[in-house]
Every structure is written in C-alpha cells, then in structure tokens.
Amino acid sequence: MLNTSNASEGLVDFHCHLDLYPNHASLIDECEKLGIKTLTVTNAPSVWSRNHELVRDCKHVRAALGLHPQLAHQREKELVLFEKYITQTRYIGEVGLDGSQEFLNTMAIQQRVFKKILELCANVGSKILTVHSRRAVSEVLELTQDIKFHDKGKVVLHWFAGTLSEAKTALDLGMYFSVNHRMITSINGKKLIKFLPIDRILTESDGPFINFRNSPITPKDISHTVQRVAIEHYCREEKMKQQIKENLKSLLS
C-alpha cells in the first residue's frame, strides 16, 4: 500500500473533462502540484481555444482537441474549426463512435465525422487519439484499419467495453487502453484488465462523469484505480504505478 501522502503523486489521467468541473482552475493547479500527467479532453472544437489557454503554461496537463460522437449531429460543421486547430496539439479527443440506442440514429453522421477526423490526423501525422467506442468497437476498428491509422498515429481506447476478441484485434493494431474506476468495479471490466498486457494499460478518471465516494471523481482519485489494477495483475501498487508511467512514455515516444 502506498503512503497516503504520496499515493496521488505522479499518476496518469489520460482522459478527463476538466473544463466541465465548476472548480476546473483549482483542479488544474492540483494536477500540477501533484505531478499528475493529465489529458483534459474537449467535446467540441469551439471550446478548444479556451481549454488550450487554460493549460498553455502547464508542465503536467495537456488539452486535447475533440468532437464527441454524441454531439456529431449537432457539431459536424465544426470540422472546419477542427482542421484549423489540429496543428496546435498532438492530442485528439474525445472522438469516436457511439452505437448506444440513444445515438444509433446518428451513426451515419458519426462515421462521417470520425472518418474525416482520422483522415485529418493521418495527413498531419503523429497524433495521439483518445477514442470513444461504446457499442461500436468493430466500426471504430474498421475505420482505423481502412485508413491504416496505426501507421500514422496512435490510439488509446477510452472506457473500452467490447469483447476480448475485439480487444485482441486492437492490441494487434498497437492500441492502448485507458481504464477507470467503473471498469475495475465491474465483472467484464476486470476480465478485460486481466486480459490486457501490462504494458498497454493507462489510467483515466473520465471525470466528472464517474462518482468516487459519493462525489465526482478527480485525477488524484486514480490512486485507487492503480491499486485495483495492480491486484488484477498480481503486482505491487508502486510497481503498477511506475509501469503506467512507462506506458505513457512509450505511447509518446
């Protein structure tokens, strides 16, 4: 068990919506103080500039340029802004596809938007994507393979809920997986975590959309996620924490 005073230092939160917290500025300061490598994702290109400005001088926090699949039917016209801003960041997210019942009728638009994003990223090169794939894993994998994106950029599958067979295909394509508190408390999530190679795992909070101890989770709470992932892989918590940091370095290399 890590010492409580050090448990939150040097963590990795590769998918968080910091701009959606009411105290987002103080959370950015906290991530900087604790050295938490945090990727704050955006849901639309129109909010990119503000988020980029908030973290411009940060050492540990980066902003990602995104267009959330659940907003694709409302924000498709913002692809113009996406193309405008794409050279300002290495990080892209949240992007992807959502095949859940509520958004199934927008799938054609989602696919068009995601394909365009993949093409733009492939043309620029060296982008790192955090990708939403709820009930649409096969479609996400198919689009990335069609564009041969694995040769031109890197993908991290955020909150993956597909099959182990789909996970293997993603691993074969060189993809990483970011896991969160909800995943480590579900049967299928734990099965996936056990299945994943230890060198392809990152951690995420997906805050504020997940609760931890009756409050919206924050990046520092990922220490609990690291602890549970370590248990699933039969290793010490400190070793897993270091492994995840090494995985991030590998992703960025």
The residues spanned by each domain of the chain are 12-252
* Bridge pairing between strands 215-216 and 211-212: antiparallel
pLDDT of residue 150: 85
CB-CB neighbours of 65 under 10 Å: 30
pLDDT of residue 151: 87
The domain defined by 12-252 folds into TIM Barrel (3.20.20)
pLDDT of residue 6: 74
pTM across the whole model: 0.95
CB 242 within 8 Å of CB 201: no
pLDDT of residue 3: 43
Question: Helical H runs in 21-136?
Answer: 24-34, 48-55, 72-75, 79-85, 107-124
pLDDT of residue 7: 80
pLDDT of residue 4: 40
Q: Digits of tens for pLDDT over the chain (253 positions)?
A: 334 447 888 999 999 999 999 999 999 999 999 999 999 999 999 999 999 999 999 999 999 999 999 999 999 999 999 999 999 999 999 999 999 999 999 999 999 999 999 999 999 999 999 999 999 999 999 999 999 888 899 999 999 999 999 999 999 999 999 999 999 999 999 999 999 999 999 999 999 999 999 999 999 999 999 999 999 999 999 999 999 999 999 999 9
